[in-house]
A and B are shown apart, each in its own frame.
Chain A
Amino acid sequence: MLKTFPKGGVHPHENKLTSSKAIKKLPIPKFVYVPVSQHIGIPSTIVVERKEKVEIGQVIAKSGGYVSSNIHSPVAGTVTKLDKIIDSSGYKKQCIVIRTDAKNSSNYKEVEFPLKEKIELSPGEILQQITDCGIVGLGGATFPSHVKLIIKEDKKIDYLIINGVECEPYLTADHRLMLEKANEIIVGIKILMSALHVKKVVIGIENNKKDAVAVFKKLLDKKDGIQIAALRVKYPQGSEKQLIKAILKREVPKNGLPLDVGVIVHNVGTVFAIYEAVQYNKPLVERVVTVTGKKLKNPSNYWVKIGTPVKDLIAEVGGLPEGTRKIVNGGPMMGVAIKNTDIPVTKGTSGILVISEEEASRKRVENCIRCGECVFVCPMGLEPFLLMNLSEKGHYDRASIEDITTCIECGSCSYVCPSNRPLLDYIRFGKNIVKKLETVKN
C-alpha cells in the first residue's frame, strides 16, 4: 500500500509531457533582469552601480536582514540600469539589469563539476556557505534555506524529509534532476545531515516517477540512513504538512512549523544547489525550468540563468503557439499568470506553462449547490464555501475563527467546484485582510 495523506486532495490530469526530455542548457540571454526580492523576507540591498562590470557569481545584492538572501550575478557583463521592471505579480519591482558581455568566454565555457563525495566542511562552515551562496527553497516557496538550518536549543529534529514529490501537473524539473543528478543529490543530503546532526532521512517521491524511485533505491545503502518512500499520486502531496503526514504520520500543529514535530523538509532542487554551493562554492545563479504546454512544438526542461526573460525560453521551444491565452509562471494549480513574456525567471520559477483557450478561460459562475465537494477535498480540513461567503460579506472575525489563515492556497477547492465558483480568490482576499487585522491587534 503506497502511503499518502488521508484527508482531502484531488487528482488533476498529470500531463507530464516533458518527463522524458533531458535537461538542456538554454543559450545565454543578451540581458538579464535580476529582481532584488526573489525570496520570502526582506528584499536585498543593491551593492553595484550603473556601468559597473560584474563576473559570474559576484554578489550584486546583499542580504537585507536575517530572513533574506544574497543575490549573485548570473552572467559576466555590465550593469546597465537599476530600474523597476514588472515581475510575475504584475507590479513593477526593483531589478538589476545586466548586459551579457558576448566577448567574455566565462559566459560560454561549459564547466564540468565532477562528483565530489567527500564533505570537507564543518557544520558551521556548511551553514555559512549556504548563507553566502544565496540558497533559497527552490520548490517554489523561496524561503531562505540557511534560516531553516538554524535550530533553536529547545527544538529537536529527528527526521529530514527530501521533497521529490512534484505534485503539480505538467512540471518535471525535479523529476529530471533526480534522474540525472541522483549521486550529487545524495551527497547534498549527507551535507544536510551533517549540518543538522540528523541521522534519518526519507526521500518522498510520487509513484508516477518510478524511474526516479528505482535510481535512488539502487544508489542508496541501508547504512546511510536514507530511505525512499514511494507515495500515491495525489495533489497536494508536495505541500510540506501533507508530506510529513503521509510519510511519518505526524501532524504539524495549527499555525505551527514542521520544526514543531521534529522534521525539516527540503526540496531536491534546493539540495542539489546546496551540494554545488558547499562542494564547489557555486552560488545560486541558475536553476531547472520546465517549459511546457499542450500546443508547444518542443516542450522541454532547461538549465536557465536567473533573470532570463520568459520570451527567450518560449523562443527556444518554438515560439508561442496560435491561440495561446494564458502564460503561467509555475504549475497550473498554484502558479501565477503573467502579463507578458518580458518577465524574468527568478529563483522560484519552476516552470513556464502555456495554456490555450479551452483550458484557460474560466466558465460562468453559478450558485453554490452545497454539494460539499470543496469540504471533502480540502487537505487542511477547512470549509471553503463558508470562507468564501464570509470573505465576500466582510465577516472577518468569524473567518478568523473558522481558521482561514491556515489555508495553504493549494487550489483544490476551486478545482472541483461544479459551479465554477472563485473560492480561492475570495479566501486569499479574506486571508490577507484577517492577517492584516491580526497584526494590527498585536
Chain B
Amino acid sequence: MITESVLYSVLLLTLLGGTAAAILYFVSKKFYVYENPLIAEVEDILPAANCAGCGSPGCKAFAEKLVNTEDISDLFCPVGGNDVMKLVAELLGKEVAEKDPTVAVMRCQGSCDVRPKTTEYQGPKSCAISAMIYSGETDCQYGCLGDGDCVIACKFDAMYMDKNTGLPVIITDKCTSCGACVEACPRDIIEMRPKNKRDLKIFVSCMNEDKGGIAKRACEVACIGCSKCDDICPKDAITMVNNLAYIDPVLCTLCRKCVPVCPTHSIIETNFPPPKVKNKKKVKENVKPLKSKSDA
C-alpha cells in the first residue's frame, strides 16, 4: 500500500513538473524578444551604478541609447569617465568626445558659528520643502539650509553632513560627478567644477546676492561684492553679478592672487601647498570658519 501511493505521488508530480516545463519552454520561444547582443556587451562595460548621471534612467537604458543612436559624441557617462567611453567607442566603432573630469563643489561656508540662526524651523527635514516654506533659519536667504537632501541623493557615499558646522561635506575622491547632488539642492549651491590631477581648486564659496552690509550682518564670511578680487585678477576670470563674485574655472590659472585680498575670506583654495611667502593664510578643504565666535 505504501509503495503504491509513493509511486503514484512521484509519477503525478513528475508529470506535473514536466508539463509545466514544457509550457514554459514553448512560451519562452513564442514570445521571444530579439535584443541586439551589443547592448548586453556595452552594458557590461558600463559601471553599473544606475545613477542617472548620463541622463538615462539606468545603465541598461544608456547602453540601449548608445547602441541605437548614430552619433554618440554628446553622450557621456560621468561615473565611468573617459576610459569607459573610449572602450564603448572601440566596441561600437563610433566617435566619442573627451570630457575633462569634474567634481562637485560646495559653495557655502555659512556654518553655525559665522551665520547665526535667527529663527527655529519646525517641519519635515528636507531642503526642498523648507526652501518652499521660507528662506531659512538664518538671515541669508541664499545659503545652505542644512537638511541634507544632497547627502541623501548621493548614491556613492561621497557626501556626509558635518554635525559641527551644519554643512554637507563632499569627499572628492569618491565623487563620480554624476550630478545628483546638484539636482537635489534647491538653491544651486553645489556646482561641478573641473578636477585636475592634484585636485587644486579656487572658487568663491558664497551665493549671497545681498549688498555688502546686509550680507556681512547675516554671515561673517559672505561675499560682500567689493570687487577687490575682480580688480586684482590678471586673467579677468572673475565676474561680479548681483553683488556676488564668480570665478570662471576655464579662465582661471590658479595663480591665487585673489585669495588673500578678499576681506571676508570668501574665496577658498583647496589642496595647494603652503605659501612660501610670509603671512598668507591658507584654508584647507573641509572648511572651518576662520573666526571662531565664542558661544553666546
- Whether chain A touches chain B in the assembled complex (some CB pair under 8 Å): yes
Asked whether A425 lies within 8 Å of B135 as measured between CB atoms, the reply is no
Q: Range of interface residues on chain B?
A: 10 to 19
Asked whether B122 lies within 8 Å of A90 as measured between CB atoms, the reply is no
Cα A90 to Cα B123 with chains together (Å): 16
Query: Which residues of B lie under 8 Å from residue A91 when comparing CB positions?
Result: 134-135, 141
Per-residue 0/1 for A406-442: is the Cβ within 8 Å of any B Cβ (1 yes, 0 no)?
Answer: 0000000000000000100110110010000000000
Residue B210 at the chain A interface, CB threshold 8 Å: yes
Residue A152 at the chain B interface, CB threshold 8 Å: no
Query: Which residues of A lie under 8 Å from residue B124 when comparing CB positions?
Result: 422, 425-426
Q: Range of interface residues on chain A?
A: 10 to 19
- The minimal Cβ–Cβ distance linking B138 to chain A, given in whole angstroms, is 10
Residue A362 at the chain B interface, CB threshold 8 Å: yes
Residue A197 at the chain B interface, CB threshold 8 Å: no
Per-residue 0/1 for B198-235: is the Cβ within 8 Å of any A Cβ (1 yes, 0 no)?
Answer: 00000000000010000000000000000000000000
Query: Which residues of A lie under 8 Å from residue B141 when comparing CB positions?
Result: 90-92
Cα A422 to Cα B123 with chains together (Å): 7
Asked whether A429 lies within 8 Å of B123 as measured between CB atoms, the reply is no
Q: Quick one: closest A residue to B135, CB to CB?
A: A90
Residue B136 at the chain A interface, CB threshold 8 Å: yes
Residue A339 at the chain B interface, CB threshold 8 Å: yes
Cα A118 to Cα B246 with chains together (Å): 64
Asked whether B210 lies within 8 Å of A92 as measured between CB atoms, the reply is yes
Query: Which residues of A lie under 8 Å from residue B118 when comparing CB positions?
Result: 339-340
Cα A422 to Cα B135 with chains together (Å): 19
Q: Quick one: closest B residue to A421, CB to CB?
A: B124
Asked whether A90 lies within 8 Å of B132 as measured between CB atoms, the reply is no
B84-137 residues at the A interface, CB under 8 angstroms = 118-119, 122-124, 126, 128-129, 132-136
Query: Which residues of A lie under 8 Å from residue B133 when comparing CB positions?
Result: 90, 425
- The minimal Cβ–Cβ distance linking B120 to chain A, given in whole angstroms, is 8
Cα A410 to Cα B129 with chains together (Å): 18
Q: Quick one: closest B residue to A362, CB to CB?
A: B122
Residue A15 at the chain B interface, CB threshold 8 Å: no
Residue A361 at the chain B interface, CB threshold 8 Å: yes
Asked whether B122 lies within 8 Å of A89 as measured between CB atoms, the reply is no
Cα A422 to Cα B122 with chains together (Å): 10
- The minimal Cβ–Cβ distance linking A428 to chain B, given in whole angstroms, is 7
Asked whether B129 lies within 8 Å of A90 as measured between CB atoms, the reply is no
Query: Which residues of A lie under 8 Å from residue B210 when comparing CB positions?
Result: 92
Query: Which residues of A lie under 8 Å from residue B129 when comparing CB positions?
Result: 425-426, 429
Asked whether A429 lies within 8 Å of B119 as measured between CB atoms, the reply is no
Query: Which residues of B lie under 8 Å from residue A339 when comparing CB positions?
Result: 118-119, 134-135
Query: Which residues of A lie under 8 Å from residue B132 when comparing CB positions?
Result: 428-429, 432
Cα A361 to Cα B122 with chains together (Å): 8
B123, B128, B129, B210: residue with the most chain A Cβ atoms closer than 10 Å: B129
Cα A91 to Cα B126 with chains together (Å): 18
Residue A89 contacts which of B126, B128, B135 (CB distance < 8 angstroms)? B135
Query: Which residues of B lie under 8 Å from residue A90 when comparing CB positions?
Result: 133-136, 141
- The minimal Cβ–Cβ distance linking A411 to chain B, given in whole angstroms, is 13
- The minimal Cβ–Cβ distance linking B3 to chain A, given in whole angstroms, is 55
Asked whether A362 lies within 8 Å of B134 as measured between CB atoms, the reply is no
- The minimal Cβ–Cβ distance linking B219 to chain A, given in whole angstroms, is 15
Residue B123 contacts which of A86, A92, A340, A362 (CB distance < 8 angstroms)? A362
B229-257 residues at the A interface, CB under 8 angstroms = none
Cα A436 to Cα B106 with chains together (Å): 27
Query: Which residues of A lie under 8 Å from residue B135 when comparing CB positions?
Result: 86, 89-91, 339
Given A339-B118, A340-B118, is A425 in contact with B123 using a C-beta cutoff of 8 Å?
yes
- The minimal Cβ–Cβ distance linking A397 to chain B, given in whole angstroms, is 14
Q: Quick one: closest B residue to A83, CB to CB?
A: B211
Q: Quick one: closest A residue to B137, CB to CB?
A: A339
- The minimal Cβ–Cβ distance linking B118 to chain A, given in whole angstroms, is 7
Cα A337 to Cα B133 with chains together (Å): 9
Q: Quick one: closest A residue to B130, CB to CB?
A: A425
Cα A412 to Cα B201 with chains together (Å): 51
Cα A432 to Cα B129 with chains together (Å): 10
Cα A362 to Cα B118 with chains together (Å): 18
Query: Which residues of B lie under 8 Å from residue A92 when comparing CB positions?
Result: 141, 210
Asked whether A89 lies within 8 Å of B134 as measured between CB atoms, the reply is yes
Cα A422 to Cα B125 with chains together (Å): 11
Per-residue 0/1 for A331-355: is the Cβ within 8 Å of any B Cβ (1 yes, 0 no)?
Answer: 0000001011000000000000000
Cα A361 to Cα B210 with chains together (Å): 31
- The minimal Cβ–Cβ distance linking B269 to chain A, given in whole angstroms, is 31
Query: Which residues of B lie under 8 Å from residue A428 when comparing CB positions?
Result: 132
Query: Which residues of B lie under 8 Å from residue A425 when comparing CB positions?
Result: 123-124, 129, 133
Q: Quick one: closest A residue to B134, CB to CB?
A: A90
Asked whether B128 lies within 8 Å of A429 as measured between CB atoms, the reply is yes
A340, A428, A429: residue with the most chain B Cβ atoms closer than 10 Å: A429
Query: Which residues of B lie under 8 Å from residue A337 when comparing CB positions?
Result: 134
Query: Which residues of A lie under 8 Å from residue B128 when comparing CB positions?
Result: 429
Cα A89 to Cα B119 with chains together (Å): 14
Cα A441 to Cα B214 with chains together (Å): 40
- The minimal Cβ–Cβ distance linking B26 to chain A, given in whole angstroms, is 36
- The minimal Cβ–Cβ distance linking A164 to chain B, given in whole angstroms, is 31
Cα A301 to Cα B133 with chains together (Å): 28
B126, B134, B136: residue with the most chain A Cβ atoms closer than 10 Å: B134
Q: Quick one: closest A residue to B210, CB to CB?
A: A92
Query: Which residues of B lie under 8 Å from residue A422 when comparing CB positions?
Result: 123-124
What are 25 A-B contacts with C-beta separation under 8 Å?
A86-B135, A89-B134, A89-B135, A90-B133, A90-B135, A90-B136, A90-B141, A91-B141, A92-B141, A92-B210, A337-B134, A339-B118, A339-B119, A339-B135, A340-B118, A361-B122, A362-B122, A422-B123, A422-B124, A425-B124, A425-B133, A428-B132, A429-B126, A429-B128, A429-B132
6 A-B pairs closest in CB distance? A90-B134, A90-B135, A362-B122, A91-B135, A429-B129, A422-B124
Known: A91-B134, A340-B118. 6 other contacts (CB 8 A): A86-B135, A89-B135, A90-B136, A422-B123, A422-B124, A425-B124
